[in-house]
A and B are shown apart, each in its own frame.
Chain A
Amino acid sequence: MATTEEIRSELAEIVNEVTGIPVDDVQLDKSFTDDLDVDSLSMVEVVVAAEEKFSVRIPDDAVKDLKTVGDAVSYIEKAQAAA
């Protein structure tokens, strides 16, 4: 099972690939929209890439609750644990 830091780090690489935001900026307390300026279309890209990377399903209904990087990491952790 991947650690929280491993998931954050891999998610940061995805965010970097989609948006160009430096990986070091993608920290758990950062808001996707307010701090990182990730818009809803980029968020879809991040989510789909994360689904493939972490072998989880993140439905559109759940995406709107993922406000911060930490929200996304804990969603992925729970989804992996449930799998």
Chain B
Amino acid sequence: MTADARELGQTETLRHSAVLGLGHHRASRVVPNSEIVDAIDSSDEWIQQRSGIIERRWATPEETVQMMSVSAAREALEDAGIQPGQLDCVIVATVSHLMQTPSVATAVAHELGSTAAAFDISAACAGFCHGIALASDLVRAGSATHVLVVGVERLSDITDPTDRGTAFIFADGAGAAVVGPSDVAGIGPVVWGSDGEQYDLIRQREDWRDVVASPSPRMPHLVMQGREVFRWAAFTMAKIADETLARTGITTEDLDVFVPHQANMRITDAMVRAMKLPDHVTVARDIAHQGNASAASVPLALRQLVLDGEAHSGDLALLIAFGAGLSYAAQVIRVP
């Protein structure tokens, strides 16, 4: 592009970004395996062996996508020491806000007392890490000073309780992070991508128009081809995790915390093996008592490690999230 006399004003040169605070909202209903086994002709032992899930969290009617988002966001803002009025952008990652439009992000911003730019992103289980990547670049380039990123799901609304492949996996909750400027780099480069050839592996069963046209309409639940997803998640994603460390300029020896999307404990175990993670790295295993809360899983797990004293301020944490699309995103952050 050639220059002419009409120069466009630009923001200042690049600055560093960091996660300044974290928050979470665990859906309050604790659902043990015993409550769901009859509908899928299964057992507590089978579910634990296949997924590591002992119990999961499901939302009450009051715990809407918006309510859980605001709850997690307030905790993150307080943790960061940031007022809602200081936010310039609110990004909500979700696939279970069942209103097509407007985005839930504008309602979340309003309830917090913010008129910041606000929009939802749809990257399924990978949504939170996509949001962190966007927020980091918005801050670095000067489009925003403080960005709120929320990952939130009410997957219990779109889970078929009789589907043996998914009924015991999915869960509800919200996690949030405030991203802002920093003197040192607090968010490393994102490694992200998609594999649309495997578009069918995890998806909504049918189009809403087909639901409406059906003589006996029912919720278009999530469906998943577990074995194929396992293969992709455990092995292809372990390679992406390694690539993320390399792009960040660190090795597994430098890493303190590993927070993979809490898809299935078996996937986490396989990734840890494939990456040959050293024993000193703390591995998030939040799924055991939370289930798989898709876009909320990474911030829920990270926040819990901080609250439990297993992750500390300044620790280097590798976040990697992956899911329907297929889509994935990963980055190393400094724990706030």
Contact = CB atoms under 8 A, between A and B. Distances in A.
Nearest to B234: A45
A1 B334 CA distance: 49
Interface string B208-243: 000000000000000000011011001100000000
Nearest to A41: B266
Contacts of B270: 45
Contacts of A17: 273
A44 B50 contact: no
Given A17-B273, A41-B266, A60 B50 contact: no
A32 B266 CA distance: 18
A39 interface: yes
Given A17-B273, A48-B235, A41 B50 contact: yes
A40 interface: yes
A17 B272 CA distance: 12
B49 interface: yes
A44 B231 contact: yes
A41 B228 CA distance: 10
**Most chain B beta carbons < 10 A, residue from A17, A41, A48:** A41
Interface residues of A, number: 9
B227 A40 contact: yes
B49 A60 contact: no
Contacts of A39: 49-50
Contacts of B234: 44-45, 48
Judged by DSSP, the binding face of A is: helix
A39 B230 CA distance: 13
Contacts of B50: 39, 41
A60 B273 contact: no
A46 B132 CA distance: 34
Nearest to B238: A48
Interface string A35-49: 000011100110010
Interface in A16-73: 17-18, 39-41, 44-45, 48, 60
B332 to A, nearest CB: 25
B224 to A, nearest CB: 14
B230 A41 contact: yes
A60 to B, nearest CB: 6
Contacts of A18: 273
A39 B50 CA distance: 9
A63 to B, nearest CB: 8
A76 to B, nearest CB: 18
A44 B230 contact: yes
B49 A44 contact: no
B227 A60 contact: yes
Contacts of A40: 227
A45 B227 CA distance: 10
Interface of B: 49-50, 227-228, 230-231, 234-235, 266, 270, 273
22 contacts: A17-B273, A18-B273, A39-B49, A39-B50, A40-B227, A41-B50, A41-B227, A41-B230, A41-B266, A44-B227, A44-B230, A44-B231, A44-B234, A45-B234, A45-B270, A45-B273, A48-B231, A48-B234, A48-B235, A60-B227, A60-B228, A60-B231
Given A18-B273, A41-B230, A45-B270, 7 more contacts: A39-B49, A40-B227, A41-B50, A44-B234, A45-B234, A48-B234, A60-B227
